[in-house]
Chains A and B, each alone.
Chain A
Amino acid sequence: MSADVDHYLDNDEKTVVIVMTSGPSTPQRCATPFYLGAIMASMDVEVHVFFTMEGVRLMQRGVAESFAAMEDGKKIIDFIRDAKRAGVTLHVCQPALPGYKIDEDNDLIEEVDHVSRASVLADLVLRSDNVITF
């Protein structure tokens, strides 16, 4: 490996929002946001994942435990827990829940930090340094 490769981290603290619209119908899209969120959070980035559209189903009890992004791969719930341990904050879009018949009081996994309105997403996007969508 060349000597000029920089192995050291010295980024300033930043805020990143990951807007997660993918869900169980596209499993191959459901691990990377958490993996990326975990690595950014461990680099001192403030990371918020906002689940909306089909993404809210990943926060529904029993769903993320039931599938993986690739055959015989790690379950999505384990990627979610890795991201949480690294410090990622998880928001679920409240207006999207009725469309999937999800009860915010009874059906969400314990890893959810906030059930948030669209205005919260707007605030997060406007104050963040970067927004990524999946």
Chain B
Amino acid sequence: MSDIERQSMDVDIVCVGFGPAMGGFLTTLSRGLTSEDGSPVAESTAMPGMPLQIICYERADDIGAGVSGVVSKARAIRESFPGFEPSQVPLCTEVTHEKVVYLLDPHGASRRQDLLDMKDSLIRAFGPSLKFLKDEAVELPFIPPFLRKEPGLVFSIGQFNQWVGSQIMAEGQAQIWPGMPVSTVLTERGKVVGVRLCDQGVDKSGQPDAGFMPGMDIKAPLTVIGDGPVGPVGRDLDDAMGMPHGHHRRDWALGMKMVVDLPESCDLPEGFVLHTLGYPEPDIFGFLYVLSDRVASLGIFVPSWLDLPVRSAYRYMQHWLTHPYLWKHLKGGKMRSWGAKSLLESGRRGEPWLAGDGYARIGEGSGTTNVLTGSGVDEAWMSGVQLAEGVLELIKAGKPFSRQNLKDTYVARRRVSTLEAEAKIAEKSRDGFGKGFIQGLLGMAIAGYTDGKFNMPGDHRRPHERVPSIEETYSPQLTAEEIKALREECQAKGESLHDAIMDRIGWPKIEYDGEMLISHQDALLLGGKVQAPFGYADHVVFVDPDACRRCNEKICIEMCSGQAITTNPDDGVPLFDREKCVHCGACLWNCSKPHPTDPEKTNVEFRAGAGGLHSAEN
């Protein structure tokens, strides 16, 4: 629909996505735009006589719709807010206690390497006499220094974003518009000149329908992109500009979490931080952070290297919750909210071109996540601050936002910062997990203790090169005939396969208690609410339907956080329901079939779309 006449508007800086990176950018920029006498430091070129026109578009219907419980050293955040008191932000507190715990598998249903099985047997045999084994778990006597977050903060990213947003708006220098998705960048002769907002009043396929309103073009000398790991605008730019040599994005994780009211009986102190590993699958990491007011944020990360074609983050999270070591603290608690989010774990290796003519990238989509330290919010914030400092420098000098100028001001700042230094250490730290859980842990330890000088070699194949068939994965527990029968049975009922398979290989059924353990659909209803405004096109698209018909794994269905992608009883192409999509993006990177034209991508396209999970307290 490129020939449609569109309205166009000029501003000075247009921003895409409001998360921690954009929070850091707009906070720093807003403060720097007013001189000491209160006058603006620069005049708008888009609207002469006015201060700079800075506008930020956010897809979600609220600026506090982020989904993540966060533990962070919060160094950059604290630098931005000297004298910061955690009590200023709801659900925010200081880290007071940290623990790392290895969870054994009480059901014997997870897939463990022989060596790990042997280690578990030894722990069970000798652990009790050494008094370090309790409730099927081993508490590590120390925390590796690179993982330690004290004296940091635990908080809810949703609440933090709301707080930051209100601070920015109070400055009155920038406008943040939620509920306004951006579809793509606008380029002219290799230069980014702005963005195009999503068309409204279209049918599911994007064709004009009743009330059609073409997305507006917002033109600006500078476009700042901070739309996160699965943001369509950032990925659109990656397609247009290509990635730097050797950079790719093949390491991901799906984070699924809950915010809970802890039961009266729970004696975990405020500021308690727990990291788990070993269960429900060895390399699924878990976290539990005790926030203020006896509220906890907890959940798991399902990584891309988990070579299981049937992976349900939701059911895995329920098994994790009910592990004896955790359930003793959580039984009797109540879920307040729930959510899921993809994490781009490629870090520096997934870094795109950070700046070009007319644009700059910040935040997770720019490769700020640090997989060694298990953090990303403060790093994203730092990247935003660095860009703002660079932009202010250019504004004051009256220089244009050219590639070279942005490199000299923003990229140069980033390269000499702790963000870059720590990203280099972390760059190869998790490579070992591609070979196995034990190799992964060893690799992390080696990288962490040698500041990244030595690393365990890894495996970074694309999903279509590494995901085995279901038959291969569950042999000899299940025969090909049994799997075929299960598949047919599930397809006829329109159900996903993971429950059927997990039940058969020894995972116990989840006993719902109506408070913490509830059905997936109930979590979707009670844990927040999905916004899917009418009149937008479907944002999850199966590129080559025939590839879906031939696909036996259909990880898109198994992994879908909101059960928005479901089995189609009448066809092999899964069904997509926008009303249930939480915009986590798991389908985008988990699909086991390559894109028809680009092997770095999968057969699922995750386009720009409105809505997503609106959860009050994430």
Q: Do A and B come from one complex?
A: no
**B residues within 8 Å of A by Cβ?**
none
**A residues within 8 Å of B by Cβ?**
none
